[in-house]
Amino acid sequence: MEGPGSHDLSLLEFLYRAPVAMLQTDGDGQVQLMTPRAAQLLLPLAPNSALENLFDVLEPTLPTLRAEVAAFDAPRGTVLEGRRVTLRLPGMPAREQVLALGLLKLDDDRLAAWLVDVTSDEHERLALAEHLALATEAAGIGTFELRYDGSEPLHFNVQTFRLFGHPDGGSPQQIVREAVASAEIARLAAWVAPLRDGREADSVEFEIRLPDGQPRWLAAKGRLSQGCPAPGRSVVGVIWDITEQRRAQAALEAQRVAERASRAKSEFLSRLGHEIRTPLNAIVGFAQMLQRGAVVPLAAEHRQAVAHIADAGRHLERLIADLTDLSLIETGTVRLDSAAVDLGALIDEVLHEADAPAAARRVTLRRALPEGRLQVLADRTRLRQVLANLVSNAIKYNRPDGDVVVEVRRDVASWRIAVGDTGLGMSQAQQKSLFEPFNRLGRESSGIPGTGIGLVLTRELVEAMGGTLEVRSEPGRGSEFGFALPAAASQAPPPAPPRALQSRDDLRGRVLAVEDNPVNAVLLQSFFNWRPGVELSIAGSAAEALELARRSAPDLLLLDLFLPDRPGLELLREMRERDGLAMPCIVISASALPSDIEAARNAGVDLYLTKPLDVDRLLHAIDTLLGTVA
């Protein structure tokens, strides 16, 4: 040790002069060395100013310190820190002083201890803790602590009590037992186990029941409290409510399931429509040929029977079309082409088609239209579908010798269209269920044919065109369905209706039809009996069609989209691009899906006809495209 004048200090001098309070004790806490600073800091805790034993002095503040040190079975140089000693100093007002205590194991019988005044740091820490507590409460996040020191094992903060539905507090253990199912408690215990050993674990989610029985979902994240070796080990963590998140996820999954189901339904209806339209083409097609006497002249009663077959086939076709359209509307994939439509001509067309069923039920069809041409902005095909559905319903649910009136009147910048009848009418209760799919309002056993989807589809189509379908009805006094569509500004001339066709011997040309269904191939041959000067070749596959086309280039191609060896549009592309064939093309398909129609348009198809075929429309198109119509 150097002399007093030396600038080098001995360890003892350093300990006495350092601002840190230092002590040295034996294994039982008996003080062997104490700096004046240490004595000054510990004096407020010492009974009768006795500072001989550190454990005795600190026992009122740190009652477990002696046991912790006894269990401090660690090698030399190990540090035990993190203990806080709070001193209450006299004065007016009284104030608190906070000391940090650290212990260093020198050997089996000696400990070095130090005390540091951390009062200002502790105040900052408490303020920060209060701010953090306020922030977590505002964010709805609670805290918990699981202690393993022999005291109460589970502790909640105020927010956690609120999350469990107990804002006034209570016993956390009892609250958990009442709120959490036993299976969930076992799962939480398994989640805590690695945390207690100091290992990491993901957050856990679990279900609880509030005191009122309401289910909620909570999530928790935890870890081993730092600086707390055994036996003072504890797990601390945060807990928050994820009920709305769970509900949102469930709603999203339900939406995905509904969308998958909707797509599956659409695909099913598409396949169903395709499969039904193919044999239906033969039923309706041959019925038309029989009606025209193309096969054999028929007696009047036989023609009537054939007419019933044709009408039934067309009814089935409309049913398939309605089902498909309703599915497309539900999925938002229906396509509307808005243009100027001659409303008067369209109404005449719909009423003309309804003549036969109206006569069969002794119902009179009338029109009440203002003078002049009436043009609305709408999709002509969909508007025709809407009017046909409304007129059909007005006939079906009418009384014998009743009336159906289609009325049009001006409504500012729109035309209001109404279809009224003198039939059964509906009660207010029936009107509330009017637009539920497949709900026939108790008329399932009335003997009147129907499925309960026509009006649903009608309303959806009217709304898609920018209108609103309105209903007025009274039991026994009939019903009226009306809607308004914007008046069209343009004065485009109405399309010329197809001419009534007869057999023509003057028409010439070569037509190649690609049709893999043998019955439909025979039907096409029957149609072309009305055009004996046209040479018809029929191919059952794409490969056969290519061979026939390369052997003799056709003037017109009739094409099915779905062929056994390749898609029809691929065949058309190869004929035009590789073989240089520029003939016009009519697609004849059992698919009425807008996506297939659009694909055909993009491929340069001149006309798209769906099965079952209308013989007049097909022959008129053939006449036009072959370029020899008189």
Domain boundary residue, one of 214, 241, 268: 241
Instruction: Decide: 487 and 413 in contact? Cβ < 8 Å.
Output: yes
Residue 524 has pLDDT above 80, yes or no: yes
Residues 346 and 457 in one domain: yes
**429 and 535 inside one domain:** no
pLDDT at 325: 66
Q: What SS3 class is residue 427?
A: coil
> Does residue 180 belong to any structural domain of this protein?
yes
Burial of 191 (0-12, 13-18, 19+ CB in 10 A): middle
Whether residue 441 has pLDDT greater than 90? no
pLDDT score, position 1? 30
Q: CB neighbours of 241 closer than 8 A, spacing ≥ 6?
A: 140, 163, 216, 217, 218
How many structural domains are present in the chain? 4
Entry pTM: 0.47
Could you tell me if 142 and 75 lie in one domain?
no
Residue 197: CATH number of its domain: 3.30.450.20
Strands 339-342 and 479-486: unpaired
| Whether 94 and 163 share a structural domain | no
> Are the C-beta atoms of 196 and 224 separated by less than 8 Å?
yes
Facing residues of 97 across strands?
87
pLDDT, tens digit (0-9, with 9 covering 90-100), for 223-259 = 888 654 444 578 888 899 999 999 999 888 888 888 7
Give the model confidence (pLDDT) of 267-294 as tens digits: 776 677 767 777 887 787 788 777 776 6
Range of the domain at 448: 335-486
Same domain, residue pair 469 and 526: no
491 falls within a domain: no
Asked whether residue 350 falls in the same domain as residue 478, the answer is: yes
Examine the pLDDT at 445 and tell me if it is beyond 50. no
pLDDT tens track for 34-80: 888 888 888 877 767 688 888 888 888 888 788 877 776 666 655 66
In a domain, 320, yes or no: no
465 and 350 within one domain: yes
The beta-strand segments (E) located in 58-189 are: 79-89, 95-107, 110-117, 141-147, 154-156
Whether residue 280 is contained in a domain is answered as no
Backbone φ and ψ of 378, nearest 5°:
-165, 170
Asked if the structure places residue 28 within a domain, the reply is yes
Per DSSP (E only), the strands in 90-211 are 95-107, 110-117, 141-147, 154-156, 204-209
In this structure, the answer to whether residues 84 and 152 fall within a common structural domain is no
pLDDT tops 70 at residue 500: no
Residue 550 lies in a domain: yes
pLDDT digits (tens, 9 = 90+) for 577-617: 888 898 999 999 888 777 788 899 999 999 999 888 888 88
453 and 520 housed in the same domain: no
Same domain, 342 and 464: yes
Residue 303 lies in a domain: no
The pLDDT-based confidence of 216 (bands split at 50, 70, 90) is very high
Q: What is the mean pLDDT of residues 347-364?
A: 88
| 286 and 417 Cβ atoms separated by less than 8 Å | no
Residues 94 and 161 occupy one common structural domain = no
271 domain residue, yes or no: no
Q: Are residues 340 and 449 in the same domain?
A: yes
Q: Per-residue confidence at 381, pLDDT binned at 50, 70, 90?
A: confident
